[in-house]
Amino acid sequence: MTPEQKVPVTILTGFLGSGKTTLLNRILSEEHGKRIAVIENEYGEVGIDQGLVINADEEVFEMSNGCICCTVRGDLIRVLGNLMKRRDKFDYVLVETTGLADPGPVAQTFFMDDEIRNEFSLDGIVTLVDAAHIDQQLGRSDESSEQVAFADVLVLNKTDLVSDESLDILESRLRDMNRMARVVRSKQADVPIDTVLNLSAFDLDQVLKRRPTFLEPEYPFEWTGVFSLEKGRHELSLEEGPDPTMSLVVLEDQGIDEAALNAGAESCVRLYSNSAELLHPGSTVPIEKHVSLQLQSNGRKSFFLELDNAQQIGLFTQHTAEEFDIQVARVDSSITKTKSDGKNESVIQPDNERIWVAEHEHDDEVGSIAIERLGDVDPEKLNKWLSRLLSEKGVDIFRTKGFISYAGESRRMVFQGVHMLFTAQPDKEWGSEPRHNQLVFIGRNLDEKEMCREFDKCLV
Partner 1 sequence: MPGVEGFSPQGMLHEGWTAEVEYYAIVCGWTLGGKALLVGDVAGGLYSFEGKSGTPLWQKKEVHKGGLLALSIHPDGDIFATSGQDGRVLIWNSEEGESTNVIELGDGWVEHLRWSPDGRFLAVAFSRRVHVYGIDGHEHWKSGEHPSTVSSIAWSKSNELASACYGRVTFFDVVSDKINQMLEWRGSLVSMVLSPDGDIVACGSQDNSVHFWRRSTEEDSEMTGYPGKPSHLAFYQTGTVLATGGSDRVTVWSFQDDGPEGTVPGELMLHTEPISCLAFSHSGMLLASGARDGSVFSWFLQADGQGDPVGGAFSGDLVSQIAWHPDDTALAAINANGGITVWEFKVRTKTSPQGFE
Point out which residues bind partner 1 (CB under 8 A): 54-55, 57, 59, 61-65, 70, 72, 74-75, 77-78, 82, 85-86, 88, 113-115
CB 138 within 8 A of CB 53: no
Please name the helix (run of DSSP H) or strand (run of DSSP E) that holds residue 248, with its range, or none.
strand 245-251
Query: At its nearest, how many Å lie between partner 1 and the CB of residue 266?
Result: 47
Query: At its nearest, how many Å lie between partner 1 and the CB of residue 90?
Result: 12
Q: Give whichever of 56 and 155 is closer to partner 1, judged by the CB atom.
A: 56
Residues near 117 by Cβ (< 8 Å), separated by ≥ 6?
110, 111
Q: Give whichever of 85 and 449 is closer to partner 1, judged by the CB atom.
A: 85
CA 8, 10, 15 angle in degrees (round to 5)? 170
| 339 burial via Cβ count (<10 Å: 0-12, 13-18, 19+) | exposed
Query: At its nearest, how many Å lie between partner 1 and the CB of residue 88?
Result: 7
Please name the helix (run of DSSP H) or strand (run of DSSP E) that holds residue 103, with its range, or none.
helix 103-112
Q: Rounded to whole angstroms, how far apart are CA atoms 328 and 326?
A: 7
The 10 Å Cβ neighbour count of residue 190 is 12
Query: At its nearest, how many Å lie between partner 1 and the CB of residue 387?
Result: 20
Q: Give whichever of 98 and 320 is closer to partner 1, judged by the CB atom.
A: 98
CB 189 within 8 A of CB 128: yes
Q: Rounded to whole angstroms, how far apart are CA atoms 333 and 256?
A: 29
Query: At its nearest, how many Å lie between partner 1 and the CB of residue 112?
Result: 8
Closest CA to 276 of 291, 296, 288: 291
Query: At its nearest, how many Å lie between partner 1 and the CB of residue 192?
Result: 32
End-to-end Cα distance, the chain: 39
Query: At its nearest, how many Å lie between partner 1 and the CB of residue 86?
Result: 6
Q: Give whichever of 51 and 220 is closer to partner 1, judged by the CB atom.
A: 51
Query: At its nearest, how many Å lie between partner 1 and the CB of residue 60?
Result: 9
Q: Give whichever of 59 and 456 is closer to partner 1, judged by the CB atom.
A: 59
Strand 36-41 vs strand 7-14: parallel, antiparallel, or unpaired? Answer: unpaired
Q: Give whichever of 101 and 256 is closer to partner 1, judged by the CB atom.
A: 101
Q: Give whichever of 4 and 114 is closer to partner 1, judged by the CB atom.
A: 114
> Which phi and psi angles does 266 have, rounded to 5°?
-65, -40
Query: At its nearest, how many Å lie between partner 1 and the CB of residue 82?
Result: 7
Q: Give whichever of 112 and 285 is closer to partner 1, judged by the CB atom.
A: 112
Residues near 153 by Cβ (< 8 Å), separated by ≥ 6?
124, 125, 126, 127, 181, 182, 183, 184, 195, 196, 199, 201
Q: Give whichever of 85 and 360 is closer to partner 1, judged by the CB atom.
A: 85
Closest CA to 261 of 352, 325, 184: 352
Q: Which residues of 424-453 are buried (b: 16+ CB within 10 A; e: fewer)?
A: beebeebeeeebbbbbbbbbbebeeeebbe
